Structure 1
Amino acid sequence: MNNPNPLLQDWTGAHGLPPFADIAPGHFQAAFDAALAEHRAEVDAIAAQVEPPSFANTLAAFDASGRRLTRLEHLFYTLAASATSPELQVVQRDLAAPLSAHGSAVYMHAGLFARVDALFEARERLGLSAEQRRLLERVHLDFLRAGARLSPEAKARYAAVMARLAELNTRFAQNVLASENGYQLRLAGEADLAGLPGFVRAAARQAAVERALEEGVHVITLSRSLIVPFLSFSARRDLREQAWRAWVGRGDNTGETDNRAICREILELRAEQAALHGHACYADFALEDTMARSQAAVMGLLERVWHPALAAQAREREAVLGAMAAVGATHELQPWDWRFYAEQARRARFELDEAEVKPYFPLERMVAAMFDCASRLFGLQFKPRPDIAGYHADVRAYEVLNADGSLRGLFLQDNFARPTKRSGAWMNALRNQSRALGATPVILNNNNFARGAAGEPTLLSFDDVRTLFHEFGHGLHGLLSSVEHERLAGTQVLRDFVELPSQLYEHWMAEPQVLKTFARHWQTDEPLPDALLAKLQAARQFGQGYETLRYTASALVDIAVHALPEAPADVVAFEAETLAQWRLPAEVGLNHRLTHFQHLFSSAGYAAGYYVYLWAEVLDCDAFDAFVEAGSVFDADVAARLRECIYAAGNSREPGEAFRAFRGRDPVVEPMLKDRGLLEPAA
C-alpha cells in the first residue's frame, strides 16, 4: 500500500517536480524525519568505511548524499517564501532548530571530518582535477566554518547558537511578512487618488480586488512596485507621509511584529559565533570567505563611492528644491517628499513622464526580451509549458533547450506580489545541476510586480525591467551551470561574486537594439519612439546620487553593526548614530532599515555582506565593457568566453581567476563610477 504522504513517494511530475496540488503543511514533518534519518545513515556509512579515504569514497560520496533531504529543503523553503500560510509558518518555526541541529551534526561528524581532513592534507599528492581539488577545498572549509575543529564543549555551544539563530531568522522573516500584510492605505475617492496616473490607479484597484475590498476602493500596499510609484506621484502629501512611515517602520514597533529585540539577539549570537572561531567580530568571520577578505577592502570601496554620491545628491537636491519652488511649496523637504518632487524635476529637465514610458513595457514583452538576449548570447531556447503546474497559478514554466535542441533545464517564473509571498525579488533552485548525479537544473525566479487590472497587461517601470533581467541573470547562472559536483553548481559561489552574473545581465535591458525590438506600446504596438528612448538615456543617471546613498548607507550600517564585538543595546539608536557619523542627508534614508533588513536577518546570507552588490557592480561594468570593446553587445566570441568562465563554471574556479580568464586582467573600478555618473570631473 502506498504511503499517503506525497512527499514520501517518488516525484513523478514533469522534470521530477513534486505533486504541488497534493502537498499540505502537515506532510512535511514526517517527510523531514525520514529524510534526516536517511542522510544520517549515509553520513555514518561514509565515515565508517574501512577503506582509506579517497576522492570517490569520501568527497564524491558526501556530495551525492542527502538527495531526499536536499530536494525536500528546496521545496519547503520555496513554499515558505512564495506560497506560505499560517499552517506552513508553524511548521517552519517548528523545523528551524531541528534542521540546523542536523547540519551541525553532519559538519561536526568526527569520523567524516577525519576523512575529509586527511584528503585535504594529502591534496598535493592525489592527482586531482582542478574541479575535484576545488570541491575538496570548499567542502573542507565548509566543515571548518561549521565548527568541525572546535573542542567538544565549544561544538555543543556552537550547535546551540546555530539552532537558536535559525529560529530567530525564521521569526524575523515572518514578522516582516506580517508587518507588510497588516498594512493597507485605503484610497476611497478622487481626492485620495490626486496625482496618480492611470497605471498606479489600476494597480491599486487590482490590489483592492485581490483583497476582496468593496467596489471603488483602491489600496496601497507595502509592495515596492506599488508604494514607490505612489510616493512618486501622489499629490496628497499627508498620504505620502502615512505610506512612507509604514514602509520604513516595518519591524520597528511595539506590537507582535517588533523585530528590535530579535535583531539584537541575532547580533549577540553572531558575535559569539565569531568568537568561537577566534575572530574579534562577526564581520571578520563573514568576510574571511569572500573576494574582499577584509573590512578594510569593503570600506575602501564604500568610501570611494560615498563622497561622489554625496556630491551628486547635493546637485539633485537643488533640482528637487527647484521643483518645489515652481509649485510654491514652502514646507521643509522631507523623505516622503523626495520622490514626488524628484519626479517633477525629472519631468521638467528631460521632458520625461513615467506615465508616458510604462505603456511600452508590458511584462510579457519584457520576458520575451530577456529570453531573446539569452538566445543571442548563449543559444538558449525557451519553450512554454502551460501544462506544467507550479505551486501557484501565477507560476509559468518553460523548458530550456540548448542550441541543438537538447534539454538544458526547466525555468519557472513567479512574477506577482501577493499576501502569501515575501517581498523583494530572488532566484532559487528546486534542483541544482550536477553531471555526477545526472541532474538538470530546475530554476525559479520570483518577482513582486503589481499586477495589472483585469483584462489589461502588467506594465513595468524601467526599474522593474531591470529587476526582471537581474533575477534572470541569476537564473542563467543556475541554468548554464556545467559542473560535475552539485556543491559547486550554479550560484553557490562566494557572496561578492554571486551578483556578477545577475547585474551583468541588467546591461542588456537598456540596450537600444533590445528596446527598439521589444519595447512596444501595449495598445498600439508602436515601438518605443526614438525621441522617448533618447529621453530615457539622457535621464538615466538622474537620481543616482540619491539611490547610491540609500544603498551605500545600508551597506555601511550593515558592516558597522557586524563589526561590533557585542550587539548594541538599541539597534535603532545605533543605526541613527551611524548615519549621523556619515552625515547622510535626512531626506535620503536607507534602502533597508535594520528592523526589516531581510538580507541580514532572515538568514546569514548577506550579513556583513550587503556591500556585495557594489563589489559585483565593479565586476559587471568592467565585464560589459568587453562587449563594448568588441564592437557588439552580442559578440559571439566574448559571449562564449563569458559562458565558459562565469556562467557555466559555478564555484569550480576561484572567482578572481574566473574573472581574469574572462577579462584577461583584474577588474578596475572606473567603469562602475562612470556608469553611475560618479566620476569626478576632469580638472
Structure 2
Amino acid sequence: MNPLLQDWTAPYGMPPFDAITDDDFAPAVDAALDDARATVAAIADNPDAPTFANTVEALERADEKLDRVLSVFFTLAGTSSNPKREELSRRFSPKLSAYSSEVTMNRALFARIDDLWQRRDALGLDTEGARLLFLTHRSFVRQGALLEGADRERLAEVKARLAMLGVQFTQNLLADERDWFMELAEGDLEGLPQFVVDAARSAGEEKGVAGPVVTLSRSLIVPFLQFSPRRDLRERAWRAWTGRGANGGETDNRAIAAEILQLRAERARLLGHDSFADWKLETEMAGSPDRVRDLLMQVWKPARAAALADADVLTAMMRQDGMNSVLEPYDWRYYAERRRAQEHDLNEAELKPYFQLDRMIEAAFACAHRLFGLSFAPVDVPLHHPDARAWEVTRDGRHMAVFVGDYFARGGKRSGAWCSALRSQRAGVRPIVLNVCNFAKPPAGRPALLSHDDARTLFHEFGHALHQMLSDVRYEAISGTSVARDFVELPSQLYEHWLDVPQVLADHALHAETGQPMPDDLRKRLLAAGTYDMGFQTVEYVASALVDLEFHSAEPPADPMERQAEILDAIGMPHAMGMRHATPHFAHVFAGDGYSAGYYSYMWSEVMDADAFAAFEEAGGPFDPEIAARLERYILSAGGRQEAEDAYRAFRGRLPGVEALLKGRGLLADAAPPGGPS
C-alpha cells in the first residue's frame, strides 16, 4: 500500500505528504518505471497503423505515473534534502537516464512517429496537435533517434554520465552551503542593522549554535556584506560564498565541471553539431551563439564603463576612511550601500520594514487579481514542509490552480529561488504550482522582512507561477513554462515591474511596526535609485553569461578555471567585481542541462520584458485590461503552442530592440537601433 502509488484523495489531488516516507520512493519509482516501459512498448509494438492518437497522444500520457512520483521526490530532495534523499537521487539518476534513452532510441517507436511526421499535412491536425507532433519528432531526433551502432550506444552512455555528474555537482554545492557558517561574537555585530542581527540569531538557532551566525544564504550574507564595517569578516564571508564548490576534498566541483563540458561537446558532435552551444541554441529564440554574443556585448560595454566609474567613487570613499589598499569584491557592497545612503538618502534598514513577506505575497496576489481576475484563498492541505503554505486559485468561482509557497532558507534546502509544478496543466487537469525562495527566517513572533531585491525575487517567481496557473492548452508537453529557455523568463521578469508601481507600494508596502504606508518621499527615493549600482549588477551577470557561452561554443577546456580567467581577462572584467556564479557553484549551468549555454536567457527575455511593460505604459497604465488580456491570450495561457518569436509578435506586433533594456538599466548611451534582439 505504497501511498505514492495509490489514488491521492487529499483535496485538489495534492500528494499525500503526510503519509509518505523516504522508504516509499525506491519501490514507487521502480514500479512507475515498469509501468512506463510497458506503456511505451505497447505503443511501439501496436500492430495497428500509426495514428496521432495511438502514438503521439498515447506517448504523451505514458509517463504519467512516473512524473507523479518524481514530482514529489524532487520537491522534497530540493527543499529538504537529507542523506537518504541524496542517496536516492544518485540511485535514480542512471535509471531515469537509461529509461529516457530507451524511449528516444526505440526504433519501432520512432518509426511510427516519423511515419506520422512524413504524413503530417494529411493528418488534419489542429494547431496544438501539429505542434505536439513537431516537438515530439524534433525531440527524438535531437536525442539521437537517427544514430546507429556505436554512436547510438555512446550517446546513451554520455547522457547517463552527465545525469550522474549533475546530481553530484548539486549535492557537493548543497554540502558546502549547508556545512559552512561563521559565528559572530557580540562585538562583531557592530554596525549591523537589527534585521541582520535578528536573521543571524535565527540562523544560529537553525544551526544549533547559541549565538548569531552568518550562513551562505543570500538573504543573510548579502546584507552582512552591505553593512558590516569589519573588513576581515567581510572577506572571510565573501571568500566562503564565492568559494563554494572549490574547497578541495570530496565536495570540489572543478573536475566535475571539466568532465561535464567534455561530455557535452562529445554529445553535440555525435548529433552532428560543431559545439554544444550550436546544438542547444538550435531550438531557442536566439538560434546561434553569435546572436547571443552580440546581445551580451552590446550590454557589456556600457555596463563595464558604468561599473568602472562607480569603482573610482568607491575607491575614493575607502581613501577617506584612511585605507590605501585596492578596492576588493568584498568591499563593493559595503561602500555601495554607504554611497546609496549618501546620494539617495536611502538605506536598507530604513526600507526593509516596509517589505514584509506577508504583505508582498498579498501584493503579488492583488496584482494578479487586477490583471487577470485571479483570487487566492488559504487552504489546509498536506504540504512538503511545515514552513510551506497553500492557496486555492480561482477566477469567477472556477478552480484554476493550487499555489504553494515555500519561502524560508534552511539546512538541506537548495539555494536560490525557483518555480516548479507538482502537477502541470493539461486538458481537464488544473496545475499545482510551487514557488521556492530562500529568505532569512525571522525569530519566532517577528515578521519576516525582505529587502527590495528579495521582494523582486518573490514577484519574479510568481510570474513563473502565473505562466503555469493561467495555462490553457490540451497537452502537458506544451503547457505553462514549456517554452524556449530564452522565452521562459519573460513572464517572470515582466511581473517584477508591478512591484514598483506606485499604487502597489502605497497599498502593500506597510511598515511592520506602525502599519503605515511607505511615505511618498521614501517611495520616490526608492524608485529614483532604481538603477543605482546597475553597472555592478549588470557586469556580474553578463560576465557569467559570457563564460557560460564561451565554455560551450568552442573546444571544451581541460581546466575550466583557467579558461574562466582567460575569458574574464579578454573582456576586461573589473578587479573589484566577481562573476555572479563562478564555475564551481554555477548550478544553473552544471547541475543539469537547463541553462547550459543558456544563462544569457535572462537578458534575452529582459529585452522583451522591458518592451512588454512599455505596452502597458503606452496604453492605459500598468493594469490596462486590454493589454493584460493580450498578455494572457498570447503568452501566459498559450504555453508552447507556437514558436516564442511568433507568440511575442502576436502580443506586441513586433520584436523589440535592446534599447528598452538599456534604458531600464540606466545604460542607454550605447543603445542599438530597433530591430529585434541581436
Shorter-chain TM-score: what band? Answer: over 0.9
Q: Distance in 2 between matches of 1:588 and 1:231?
A: 13
Q: 1:14-36 deviations in whole A, cap 9, x for unaligned?
A: 22122212222221111111111
| Aligned partner of residue 207 in structure 1, secondary structure | helix
For residues 53-452 of structure 1, what are the structure 2 equivalents within 5 Å? 53-189=50-186, 191-214=187-210, 217-385=211-379, 387-402=380-395, 404-435=396-427, 438-452=428-442
- In structure 1, stretches of 5+ residues that fail to align are none
Q: Distance in 2 between matches of 1:327 and 1:122?
A: 75
1:44 maps to 2:49 = no
1:510 maps to 2:500 = yes
| Aligned partner of residue 251 in structure 2, secondary structure | coil
Distance of aligned partners of 1:531 and 1:325 in 2 relative to their CA distance in 1, 3 Å threshold: farther
Report the AA paired with residue 300 of structure 2: W
> Is the 1:488–1:651 Cα contact (8 Å) retained in structure 2?
yes
Report the AA paired with residue 207 of structure 1: A
Q: Distance in 1 between matches of 2:534 and 2:226?
A: 16
Q: Distance in 1 between matches of 2:285 and 2:311?
A: 35
> Is the 2:275–2:553 Cα contact (8 Å) retained in structure 1?
yes
Q: Could you say which residue in structure 2 is the equivalent of 1:583?
A: 572
Q: Which moved more, 1:317-326 or 1:510-519?
A: 317-326
For residues 494-505 of structure 1, what are the structure 2 equivalents within 5 Å? 494-505=484-495
Q: Distance in 2 between matches of 1:389 and 1:329?
A: 55
| TM-superposed deviation, 1:327 | 2.9
| Aligned partner of residue 665 in structure 1, secondary structure | coil
| TM-superposed deviation, 1:654 | 1.0
| TM-superposed deviation, 1:564 | 2.4
> Is the 1:323–1:342 Cα contact (8 Å) retained in structure 2?
no
Q: Distance in 2 between matches of 1:213 and 1:44?
A: 55
Q: 1:37-68 deviations in whole A, cap 9, x for unaligned?
A: 11111111111222221211111111122210
| Aligned partner of residue 656 in structure 2, secondary structure | coil
Report the AA paired with residue 397 of structure 2: G
Q: Distance in 1 between matches of 2:338 and 2:319?
A: 11
> Is the 1:316–1:542 Cα contact (8 Å) retained in structure 2?
no
Q: Distance in 2 between matches of 1:222 and 1:211?
A: 12
| TM-superposed deviation, 1:574 | 1.2
Q: 1:510-558 deviations in whole A, cap 9, x for unaligned?
A: 1111001100101001100011011111111110000000000000000
Q: Distance in 1 between matches of 2:131 and 2:662?
A: 33
Report the AA paired with residue 266 of structure 2: E
| TM-superposed deviation, 1:666 | 1.5
TM-score w.r.t. the length of structure 2 is 0.98
Q: Which moved more, 1:121-130 or 1:318-327?
A: 318-327
Q: Distance in 1 between matches of 2:92 and 2:634?
A: 38
> Is the 2:15–2:382 Cα contact (8 Å) retained in structure 1?
no
Q: Distance in 2 between matches of 1:354 and 1:41?
A: 57
| TM-superposed deviation, 1:325 | 3.3
Q: Could you say which residue in structure 1 is the equivalent of 2:605?
A: 616
Pick from 446, 466, 472: which aligns with 1:482?
472
Q: Distance in 2 between matches of 1:417 and 1:664?
A: 42
Q: Distance in 2 between matches of 1:468 and 1:18?
A: 24
Q: Distance in 2 between matches of 1:266 and 1:25?
A: 29
Q: Distance in 1 between matches of 2:382 and 2:443?
A: 23
| TM-superposed deviation, 1:316 | 1.5
Q: Distance in 2 between matches of 1:132 and 1:429?
A: 23
| TM-superposed deviation, 1:571 | 1.4
| TM-superposed deviation, 1:188 | 1.6
Q: Could you say which residue in structure 2 is the equivalent of 1:647?
A: 636
| Aligned partner of residue 470 in structure 1, secondary structure | helix
| Aligned partner of residue 382 in structure 1, secondary structure | strand
| Aligned partner of residue 405 in structure 2, secondary structure | strand
Q: 1:122-159 deviations in whole A, cap 9, x for unaligned?
A: 11222211111111111111111111110132121111
| TM-superposed deviation, 1:329 | 2.9
Q: Distance in 2 between matches of 1:347 and 1:515?
A: 20
Q: Distance in 2 between matches of 1:107 and 1:492?
A: 19
For residues 453-468 of structure 1, what are the structure 2 equivalents within 5 Å? 453-468=443-458
Q: Distance in 1 between matches of 2:305 and 2:254?
A: 33
| Aligned partner of residue 188 in structure 2, secondary structure | coil
Q: Distance in 1 between matches of 2:670 and 2:645?
A: 30
Q: Could you say which residue in structure 2 is the equivalent of 1:594?
A: 583
> Is the 1:287–1:294 Cα contact (8 Å) retained in structure 2?
yes
Report the AA paired with residue 209 of structure 1: E
Q: Distance in 2 between matches of 1:655 and 1:53?
A: 30
> Is the 1:59–1:136 Cα contact (8 Å) retained in structure 2?
yes
| TM-superposed deviation, 1:278 | 1.1
Q: Distance in 1 between matches of 2:11 and 2:83?
A: 29
| Aligned partner of residue 135 in structure 1, secondary structure | helix
Report the AA paired with residue 456 of structure 1: R
Report the AA paired with residue 678 of structure 1: L
Report the AA paired with residue 186 of structure 1: E
| TM-superposed deviation, 1:102 | 0.3
| TM-superposed deviation, 1:229 | 0.4
| Aligned partner of residue 668 in structure 2, secondary structure | coil
| TM-superposed deviation, 1:97 | 0.5
Q: Distance in 2 between matches of 1:444 and 1:274?
A: 33
Q: Distance in 1 between matches of 2:620 and 2:308?
A: 36
| TM-superposed deviation, 1:681 | 7.4
Superposition CA RMSD, Å: 1.1
| Aligned partner of residue 58 in structure 2, secondary structure | helix
Q: Distance in 2 between matches of 1:463 and 1:320?
A: 21
Distance of aligned partners of 1:681 and 1:291 in 2 relative to their CA distance in 1, 3 Å threshold: closer
Q: 1:567-598 deviations in whole A, cap 9, x for unaligned?
A: 31211111111101111001111100010100
| TM-superposed deviation, 1:315 | 2.2
| Aligned partner of residue 135 in structure 2, secondary structure | helix
Q: 1:342-389 deviations in whole A, cap 9, x for unaligned?
A: 11111111111110000011000000000000000000000111x212
| Aligned partner of residue 401 in structure 2, secondary structure | strand
Report the AA paired with residue 646 of structure 1: I
Q: Distance in 2 between matches of 1:202 and 1:210?
A: 12
1:527 maps to 2:517 = yes
Q: Distance in 2 between matches of 1:287 and 1:449?
A: 33
Pick from 6, 14, 22: which aligns with 2:3?
6
Report the AA paired with residue 81 of structure 1: G
> Is the 1:622–1:669 Cα contact (8 Å) retained in structure 2?
no
Q: Distance in 2 between matches of 1:83 and 1:563?
A: 36
| Aligned partner of residue 420 in structure 2, secondary structure | strand
> Is the 1:322–1:345 Cα contact (8 Å) retained in structure 2?
no
Q: Distance in 2 between matches of 1:151 and 1:116?
A: 18
| Aligned partner of residue 185 in structure 1, secondary structure | strand
Q: Distance in 1 between matches of 2:73 and 2:139?
A: 23
- Count the aligned residue pairs: 671
Q: Which moved more, 1:497-506 or 1:672-681?
A: 672-681
Q: Distance in 1 between matches of 2:260 and 2:290?
A: 24
